[in-house]
Chains A and B, each alone.
Chain A
């Protein structure tokens, strides 16, 4: 979704990899639809589009994509910023039908996997009640571990390449930045707050509504060009749980973004710290507060930590020297 620049680079690298039969790219309602011509001319590339989605939902998007890969026995999940490195040759060697390989390493490698499509669907796929980003991969692993015991294996870090980018992009902050100019630290702070809120909300979702194969997932209808969510198939959290999860998302976001104690945000009028359909809407007074009060308030704690980080190695070196000095 709106990651065209990444995909242009990684799709070419995937096309150079000889081990797959199909590269299925699902365009999750990008503002500007992906065109087949922009991607490598590799005949294995297949582009499908889901229309009408307002926000990024990694769980629903990958469930839909893997649902479309009906001819595949094995699924290698690779985000738009990932590609299989050339060092990874013949990935199915040594695997059996129940093998589950999970990515390992920094920068989102954790979320990639190689497993039989039947294993993925047997676990119910990703948890579709989760929104945004975070915990959907851990939740899937936990269910796979429970179903298959200890058969989860690790993909070596070198097997997957990842384009470096900040968390702001992951959290969709680039769209905010496109609307008005903002500094890198502001974008970072906004991105971190969104991710933190999403990570907690998704954990709460997993706690309130455990996912399994028995839960009905979304269905999509094809109109000859694009796929659309079939009305009435979107799973929903029970009302009380949904209220708690959305409240947690809102409160954690504002508490993190503006450095205000959660206990105070809870007691303030909702209109001052509102929720939004995709992300809480940041108004001009929030930006003013962020640049003014928050920046000053965070300063002492940041300075204290910087001083500690600076002094700690010196103190340790001093202690080490004392310990190593000859006895008097």
Chain B
């Protein structure tokens, strides 16, 4: 039997019960960690301890009152609650494979980051003190996208060389992009997929702009949480970092323009000229959609795409030998 390392595995879950019920038993059989900290980030149906493996290393905490998925804040909270000297981030859809033997990686004392497809990129193994020294994730970001690259860039800016966790060390449950971003309810319809993709791209750009306008560091105040008598945690609303001023306006505008431009295939130049009330900021519930958008999406946008495909075929035919 391998003695456990001074290692906390952190997993944050928001409405991903099915994934967690598959991956938590794998971790319960894994011998290397001393603690598996699972954070229930305001899942609609709260996670119950009884549905997770009876492994005494597993600790379940719930953060109440969060309206949206925010991996930056969620993982910062999780890592602040970790009790061990090393952190291994494993999302709810990730589990270590038998090839993952962390003792050697930990012995190097370095920072290890995920590599490979399907979300492996965002996982990491590093000293807890190192994560805290860099300030963790950038909490001014919203939603999914770029928070992992931003963390890497800041670690590298400290002069650290990042080693790669081989792709075959982590197994990932395959699932759709819509589920990853939690931007829209999972669905297989073309409209949903198109909207989900547009939201994802808008969010990815917005988070890049946040990183540019609001570089994160350990000196930035991050969200504070209070434990309630029932045991659940809740963020103090005033402590949640918010962007203000011209940067906030610029980022909100970029997010709105990219979303509509991608969703309806309308040039951003036109969207800037058209009334904002007709193309408002998107939200998770899709309240920005009007019947006229849906008609345009189903007709003009498709026609434009068909023309494009025709042009592409023509060009490919001409360039073919």
- Residues of A bordering B, CB below 8 Å: 135, 138-139, 142-143, 146, 203-204, 206-210, 212, 214-215, 255-256, 259-264, 267-269, 272, 297-298, 301-302, 304-305, 308
B261 touches A261 (CB 8 A): yes
**How many contacts A-B (CB < 8 Å)?**
92
- Report B188 CB to chain A, min CB distance, Å: 21
A263 to B201, CA, bound (A): 11
A210 touches B153 (CB 8 A): yes
Chain B hits for A203, CB < 8 A: 208-209, 212-213
The SS class assigned to the B binding surface is: helix
Chain A hits for B118, CB < 8 A: none
Known: A207-B212, A215-B157. 19 other contacts (CB 8 A): A142-B215, A203-B208, A204-B208, A206-B215, A207-B146, A207-B211, A209-B157, A210-B211, A255-B269, A259-B267, A261-B266, A261-B267, A263-B261, A267-B308, A267-B312, A269-B312, A269-B315, A269-B316, A297-B270
16 contacts between A and B (CB under 8 A): A135-B212, A142-B213, A142-B215, A143-B215, A203-B212, A207-B153, A208-B153, A210-B215, A260-B267, A261-B262, A264-B265, A267-B308, A269-B319, A298-B269, A301-B274, A304-B274
B270 closest partner in A (C-beta): A301
Decide if B217 is an interface residue (CB 8 Å cutoff).
yes
A269 to B265, CA, bound (A): 17
Decide if B148 is an interface residue (CB 8 Å cutoff).
no
Chain A hits for B273, CB < 8 A: 298, 301-302, 304-305
Chain A hits for B157, CB < 8 A: 209-210, 212, 214-215
Chain B hits for A305, CB < 8 A: 273-274
- Residues of B bordering A, CB below 8 Å: 146, 149-150, 153-154, 157, 159, 208-209, 211-215, 217, 219, 258, 261-262, 265-270, 273-275, 304-305, 308, 311-312, 315-316, 319
Max chain B C-beta neighbours (<10 A), residue from A142, A206, A207, A267: A207
Max chain B C-beta neighbours (<10 A), residue from A256, A259, A261, A298: A261
A-B pairs with lowest CB-CB distance, top 7: A207-B211, A206-B212, A301-B273, A203-B212, A207-B208, A261-B265, A207-B212
A296 to B286, CA, bound (A): 32
A146 touches B219 (CB 8 A): yes
A215 closest partner in B (C-beta): B157
Contact partner of B261 among A209, A210, A262, A308, CB < 8 A? A262
A245 closest partner in B (C-beta): B208
A264 to B265, CA, bound (A): 7
Chain B hits for A272, CB < 8 A: 315
A305 to B273, CA, bound (A): 6
- Report B277 CB to chain A, min CB distance, Å: 11
A260 to B315, CA, bound (A): 18
A212 to B153, CA, bound (A): 12
Contact partner of A264 among B270, B308, B316, CB < 8 A? B308
Chain A hits for B262, CB < 8 A: 261-263
A259 touching B269 in the complex, CB below 8 Å, given contacts A214-B159, A264-B304, A269-B312:
yes
Max chain A C-beta neighbours (<10 A), residue from B150, B270, B274: B270
B157 closest partner in A (C-beta): A210
A189 closest partner in B (C-beta): B269
A259 to B61, CA, bound (A): 50
A259 touching B270 in the complex, CB below 8 Å, given contacts A208-B149, A212-B157:
yes
A255 touching B268 in the complex, CB below 8 Å, given contacts A138-B213, A210-B215:
yes
B275 touches A268 (CB 8 A): no
A142 to B269, CA, bound (A): 29
A298 touches B275 (CB 8 A): no
Chain A hits for B275, CB < 8 A: 308
- Report A9 CB to chain B, min CB distance, Å: 31
Chain B hits for A207, CB < 8 A: 146, 150, 153, 208-209, 211-212
- Report A131 CB to chain B, min CB distance, Å: 15
Chain A hits for B305, CB < 8 A: 264
- Report B262 CB to chain A, min CB distance, Å: 5
- Report B132 CB to chain A, min CB distance, Å: 18
A209 touches B153 (CB 8 A): yes
B273 closest partner in A (C-beta): A301
